[in-house]
């Protein structure tokens, strides 16, 4: 019985954390309150605090869940460089495009001003890891010849991140229209492909 009760408690905490993301995504941060959250999950306001010590604790759990979902989008690091970039990109488009609250948590400066400091550090860490993962894949692609070498990897990373962010906000992409996302990614990789002849110096991000 103790195990069942403990499992139910964990499930309820996750339900509340997901409800935080849903309310933010559908109604905006200003609509997030103890009352709206309790109504969303079918509890009284006091019932929320049988599972969490404080509202800040609820926000921390929402951020922890967000990081967990983002971590699950990373592909295996031993995939070919192009596949690493493609897989992470499409995984992020599917996740964030269908979860505007999660997108807000990850990309909004307001989120960093609202969340507890420990949660901000967790989110910033996964953002850094994402950039480093993609940059490592770009550098590996340059080394093996599958990605152009006449542009600095840091500059190519801007193109990759811009494409992923644009796809996240593109209507319909997250609702099963995977072909569209794949076609845009194919176009991006065409731009990243090695050029037949390379002359002059490299194109740098700081030029």
Q: Is residue 180 very low, low, confident or very high in pLDDT (cuts 50, 70, 90)?
A: confident
The answer to whether 81 and 146 have CB atoms below 8 angstroms apart is yes
Share of residues in the chain with pLDDT > 90 (%): 71
Task: Share the mean pLDDT of the chain.
Answer: 88
User: Is 197's pLDDT higher than 70?
Assistant: no
**pLDDT given at position 10:** 87
User: Is 8's pLDDT higher than 60?
Assistant: yes
DSSP 8-class letter at 49: T
Dihedral pair phi/psi, residue 204, rounded to 5°: -110, 155
Give the Cβ contact number of residue 64 at 10 Å. Answer: 17
Of the candidates 201, 133, 92, the one whose C-alpha atom is nearest the C-alpha of residue 141 is 133
Q: How far apart are the first and last CA of the chain?
A: 65
**pLDDT given at position 129:** 97
Q: Say how far apart CA 203 and CA 84 lie, in whole Å.
A: 24
Per-residue pLDDT tens over the stretch 75-94:
999 999 999 999 999 999 99
CA Rg value for the chain: 20
3-state SS of 63-118 is: HHHHHHHHHCCCCCCCCCHHHHHHHHHHHHHHHHHCCHHHHHHHHCHHHHHHCCHH
User: Is 4's pLDDT higher than 70?
Assistant: no
Per-residue pLDDT tens over the stretch 34-89:
999 999 999 998 889 999 999 999 999 999 999 999 999 999 999 999 999 999 99
Question: Which range, 76-90, 160-174, 187-201, has the best average confidence (pLDDT)?
Answer: 76-90
Q: Is residue 143 very low, low, confident or very high in pLDDT (cuts 50, 70, 90)?
A: very high
- The arithmetic mean of pLDDT across residues 106-131, rounded, is 93
**pLDDT given at position 167:** 92
Q: Say how far apart CA 151 and CA 153 lie, in whole Å.
A: 6
């Amino acid at each position: 019985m103790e195990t069942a009760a403990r499992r139910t408690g964990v499930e309820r905490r996750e339900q509340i954390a997901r409800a935080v993301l849903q309310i933010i995504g559908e109604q905006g941060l200003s609509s997030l309150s103890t009352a709206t959250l309790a109504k969303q999950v079918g509890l009284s306001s006091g019932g929320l605090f049988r599972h969490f010590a404080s509202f800040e604790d609820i926000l921390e759990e929402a951020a922890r869940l967000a990081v967990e979902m983002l971590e699950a989008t990373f592909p295996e690091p031993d995939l070919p460089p192009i596949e690493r970039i493609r897989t992470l990109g499409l995984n992020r488009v599917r996740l964030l495009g269908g979860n505007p609250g999660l997108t807000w948590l990850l990309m909004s400066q307001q989120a960093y001003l609202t969340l507890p400091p420990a949660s901000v550090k967790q989110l910033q860490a996964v953002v850094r890891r994402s950039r480093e993962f993609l940059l490592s894949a770009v550098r590996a692609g340059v080394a093996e010849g599958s990605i152009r070498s006449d542009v600095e990897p840091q500059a190519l990373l801007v193109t990759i991140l811009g494409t992923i962010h644009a796809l996240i906000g593109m209507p319909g992409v997250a609702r099963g229209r995977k072909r569209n996302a794949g076609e845009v990614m194919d176009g991006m990789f065409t731009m990243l492909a090695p050029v037949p002849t390379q002359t002059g110096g490299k194109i740098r991000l700081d030029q």
